[in-house]
Amino acid sequence: MTISVGDKLPEVTLVKATAEGPQQVSSSEYFAGKKVALFSVPGAFTPTCSARHLPGYVEKASELKAKGVDEIAATAVNDAFVMGAWNQAAGSEDITMLADGNGDFAEAIGLTMDGSGFGLGKRGQRWSAIVEDGVVKELNVEAPGDFSVSSAEHMLGQL
């Protein structure tokens, strides 16, 4: 079942990429008591994700925060080392990288995709959400191959 607006995020363990190394964090602890602009990409360092998706959130970070967002977080079915390297290469300190290495989060919210045709295996879909205190307030799931509703620009219009 796919998560919907009004649903609480399921309890899973994510791995936060930090300067000190990977840090496990429960979803309930991470999202508690704050408004998070969360976006998911099929893979760090993949073309659209690196050329458009992450850069949009980097560019619009101050605008998102000015509209009440406490944190901006990216998630992907990648390990924390890859997510950390991606943030160092193309991100910013304004973006928290939440690795979903085994795809448990993507599976729990019902937003997986099969990227086997591209050698990617099971991944998370491209989507974004505004999450307040662990509850989904807005959810924007892209059609396969599209990039529009999960963008930072679209999210700004929802705040």
Which residues are known to be catalytic? 49
The whole-angstrom separation of Cα 156 and Cα 152 is: 6
How many Å is the Cα radius of gyration of the chain? 14
How far is the C-alpha of 140 from the C-alpha of 86, rounded, in Å? Answer: 23
| Residues comprising the chain, all counted | 159
Q: In the structure encoding, which two tokens stand for residue 81, read together? A: 């080392």
Nearest to 95 by CA among 57, 151, 125, 133: 57
Query: For the chain, how far is it from start to end, CA to CA, in angstroms?
Result: 26
Rounded distance, CA 27 to CA 32, Å? 8
